[in-house]
Amino acid sequence: MTLIHLWRSFRKSFSHALAGLSYALREERNFQIEVVVGIMAVMLTFFFPLSSIERSVMLLLIGTVLTLELFNTAFERLLDMLKPRIHPYVKVVKDIVAGAVLIGSVMAFLIGLIILLPHIWTLVTLV
């Protein structure tokens, strides 16, 4: 495979990925909320004097939650396509995947608090 074919293949794959992200941003309320919260968390990671490891952990957590939400969306769409009428097992699978997003989100929130709370506390006590 030539370099030109590799580049075209990469561009096509990248284009499909951007289309998926665009869909999720337009159509998925939870993803929209998580993106806004993620942006705020990124702003806080650069506002406070965090170590590079703390910043890396924060970015990894944000990316993980957004990725989980995208997987949740994909599973839901796939299941809706395969079983348009609600089947008890379809509901269970959707609930389980939503539970995975919930666990990831709660863990990210708690770890974010552990990292950011000392800096927020210092800021509050100075005021």
Report the catalytic residues. 69
Cβ contacts of residue 50 below 8 Å, gap of 6+?
58, 115, 119
8 A C-beta contact, residue 28 and residue 69: yes
8 A C-beta contact, residue 115 and residue 57: yes
In the chain, the amino acid numbered 22 is S
